[in-house]
Structure 1
Amino acid sequence: MDGNTEYGRKKFKRSRSHFADRITADGKESGWPVEAGRYRLVVSRACPWASRVLISRRLLGLEDALSLAVTDPIQDDRSWRFTLDPGDRDPVLGIRFLHEAYDARETDYPGGVSVPAIVDVPTGKLVTNDYQQITLDLATEWTALHREGAPDLYPEALRGEIDEVMDGVYREVNNGVYRAGFATTQEEYEGAYADVFHRLDLLTERLAGQRYLVGDTITEADIRLFTTLVRFDAVYHGHFKCNREKLAENPVLWAYVRDLYQTPGFGDTVDFDHIKRHYYAVHTGINPTSIVPAGPDLSGWTEPHGRESLGGRPFGDGTPPGPVPEDERVPEGHRPVP
């Protein structure tokens, strides 16, 4: 499944990443040095954890340095599939299923096959599936390959505050919606539900008077919150029963997430078709019919948000990313456009 998850009759638990190697600037400790063209990023556009990396890669301008493979949003018991590519095979790695890269790294690996995943192209081996660390390393270890004008997504002077904010967002929002959605008892569900909206209330208060979560520019904290919020009304409100209110009914968070969606590097990575088809078709324990809802109406995502009045500089001293590469554009009809 997406991220690293354990489902079943026992209490929902998100597993720690089994393959937590780091790709670092010199590679001395990890054995994996930053090197343009050496690695391939494998994502599902449906997965919020993988979407973090898609956004970071776009904002930092790493498209040419770190190639991209996008899987089918519907995986089967053989793992994530490359059925969107000719011949149902990734054209660079030459594999049909992501598990093949995991098997190349560790024979008979017993855990789940998750995205995001970074694969070493020369050997075909998985390097890392550490969704918590990958984006931090893109921001701090891959700097030699950043585009000119790339923003500082993890500024050193603000890291303590960013980490604190991200911790609460992870526990009660990013992971909280999953805890609610996969709860197997009423008590477990209600506890997770309360956590989700407790944190969303705190975030509402925080964002009522400032444009971004930490400082006056976009940081890693905003990326991590965005990927859950952008899925909220489409899947988490109904499918995961986080239904106290829709995001569109919260004026502050709705304006905040639209502001980010309309910022280059965010909305142009979002594929609502993949998101809905994955959650409603794969999670048959929650939705046994696999019927994908026709709604919600997506037209509001492109409406004015008014957050400019709070000030802030989206890219700090940098500039917006360039156009999306032609072969990475979200298909027409999969997201609203102005």
Structure 2
Amino acid sequence: MGLLVDGVWQDKWYDTKSTGGRFKRSEAMFRNWVTADGSAGPTGEAGFKAEPGRYHLYVSLACPWAHRTLIFRRLKGLEDMIDLSVVHWLMRENGWTFQDGPGVIQDPLHKAEFMHQVYTAAKSDYSGRVTVPVLWDKKTNTIVSNESADIIRMFNSAFDEVGAKPGDYYPEALREEIGTVNERVYHEINNGVYKSGFATTQGAYEEAVSTLFAALDWVEDRLSDGRAYLMGGDVTEADWRLYTTLVRFDPVYHGHFKTNLKLLIDYPNINAYARRLHTQHGVADVFNLEHAKRHYYESHDMINPTAVVPLGPDVHVADGKAE
């Protein structure tokens, strides 16, 4: 994992010394929005109209943040409208790359070898982390957004008038409640596993793990009233945002990030809920367990210097077995 400084790549890990051993995630730098008519969205500039074939999505199959966008691309039937590039699972001194490997889809726009070259194609003096997902506009030749939370909302509604499948995962009546749930899930679960795994002091690790499992207990309790999903009977974006962490929890985070107070299968409500999501609408087809396991265990040599990838566990959300 590295970053660009004034357009020059540097192989540099996160600075946890200045934060008392705590991992602090960088903010997304590109925050424009695709809208139905090209008007400005909540942030950024106008000029990005929803048009079939205009946009290109860069993802990693290992990354839970990029996984969100693949799910919404599938749910909304945007696969023929928004084409795709997939980076290699291994992220070392050059960051995300397009080296050959199973599941990799090369970059047809820039012929990039490294993901950071896509960033400098948009802004030659870019400074910041080089992350996925990235939504690229072929018409203006720039990055629309590298914020997954924004991209899934674009996919949810912006393309409805040009042939997207029906379905609203961010309904007006539930937006306040979705926002409240998203806030806790993001800080304490989605990012909580990273805060646990990337902590560099015992105190920071214990703080993050305790917060993470308190949040999982809260989700388990929320689902204990018989509701199928976080908001009740219908799936919303809040479910998909949580799911991408849950599907990686037992096979990756439990071991690699030391989030091992419990397995997900120890939470009967959460486990059943995650399996319901996994088997919907072809969602299972856009999850790649090999990329997920190999990325974390092979890339983070400060955590797993041998790069040995564990075989187990045998039972997890994506194993296809009955609940």
Structure 1 and Structure 2 fold alike (TM over 0.5): yes
Partner of residue 304, structure 1: 322
Q: Is the 8 A contact 2:297 2:304 kept in 1?
A: yes
Q: Secondary structure at 2:178's aligned position in 1?
A: helix
Q: Is the 8 A contact 1:46 1:271 kept in 2?
A: yes
Q: Secondary structure at 2:57's aligned position in 1?
A: strand
Match of 1:279 among 296, 307, 310: 296
Question: Counterparts of 2:34 and 2:121 in 1: how far apart (Å)?
Answer: 18
Partner of residue 177, structure 2: 161
Q: Is the 8 A contact 1:6 1:13 kept in 2?
A: no
Partner of residue 186, structure 1: 202
Q: Is the 8 A contact 2:265 2:316 kept in 1?
A: no
Q: Is the aligned partner of 1:14 residue 2:39?
A: no
Question: Counterparts of 2:78 and 2:70 in 1: how far apart (Å)?
Answer: 10
Q: Secondary structure at 1:42's aligned position in 2?
A: strand
Greater Cα shift, 291-300 or 7-16: 291-300
Question: Counterparts of 2:91 and 2:195 in 1: how far apart (Å)?
Answer: 21
Q: Is the 8 A contact 2:87 2:106 kept in 1?
A: no
Partner of residue 43, structure 2: none
Q: Is the 8 A contact 1:70 1:84 kept in 2?
A: no
Partner of residue 113, structure 2: 96
TM-score by length of 2: 0.87
Greater Cα shift, 5-14 or 204-213: 5-14
Shift of 1:145: 3.3
Unaligned runs of 5+ in 2: 3-11, 41-45
Q: Is the aligned partner of 1:240 residue 2:257?
A: yes
Q: Which amino acid aligns with 1:207?
A: L
Q: Is the aligned partner of 1:147 residue 2:158?
A: no
- Counting matched residue pairs gives 302
What is the percentage of aligned positions where both structures have the same residue?
46
Question: Counterparts of 1:141 and 1:6 in 2: how far apart (Å)?
Answer: 36
Shift of 1:284: 1.0
Q: Is the aligned partner of 1:231 residue 2:248?
A: yes
Greater Cα shift, 112-121 or 225-234: 112-121
Q: Equivalences for 1:1-338 in 2 at 5 Å? A: 1=1, 7-10=14-17, 11-29=22-40, 30-84=46-100, 89-122=106-139, 124-148=141-165, 150-208=166-224, 209-298=226-315, 301-305=319-323
Partner of residue 6, structure 2: none
Using a 3 Å threshold, how does the CA distance of structure 1 residues 134 and 299 change in structure 2: closer, same or farther? closer
* CA deviations over 1:257-286 (Å, ceiling 9, x no partner): 111111123211110000001001111111
Q: Secondary structure at 2:256's aligned position in 1?
A: coil
Shift of 1:110: 2.0
TM-score by length of 1: 0.84
